[in-house]
Homo-oligomer: A and B are copies of this chain.
Amino acid sequence: MVKLTQHRQAILDLINASNRHWDADEVARALSDAGQSVGIATVYRGLAALEAAGLLDSIQLADKKRYERADKAHHDHMICTECGHIEEFTHATIEALQLVAAQERGFELSGHQLTMFGRCKSCSQE
């Protein structure tokens, strides 16, 4: 299990108190703004450690990784290609079908990432 140092606790608290998807740089900047400066390398290591421990979730985007709270039900993401807005959605049937598809191929599933791209509601109304 992870050692919850002060720095890691600060990272975790920051993300848990929000509903956003943070990249490493944003975390470092926010902590710094809060008077709790943490080196960028430590932020990267902390985020990875917290995710490995199941205390954070992440999505891998084309250019970077973003972290979010792990204390929510599993969900996938819709990303607006215009404004960057990230919307979450859950679909039990899709999840179940994925598992079946994997089993049919003798695949031992350990994770997945479903990301949909398009224009969000407000952007497509403009």
Contact = CB atoms under 8 A, between A and B. Distances in A.
Interface of A: 60, 62, 65, 78, 80-81, 87, 89, 91, 93-94, 97-98, 101-102, 105-121, 124
A35 to B, nearest CB: 33
Contact of A102 (B65, B78, B107): B78
Q: How many copies does the complex hold?
A: 2
Contacts of A91: 97-98, 101
Q: Summarize A's interface: helix, strand, loop or mixed.
A: strand
A78 B120 CA distance: 28
A118 B124 contact: no
A49 to B, nearest CB: 18
Given A78-B101, A110-B117, A113-B113, 10 more contacts: A62-B65, A80-B107, A87-B105, A93-B97, A94-B101, A107-B116, A108-B118, A111-B116, A111-B118, A112-B114
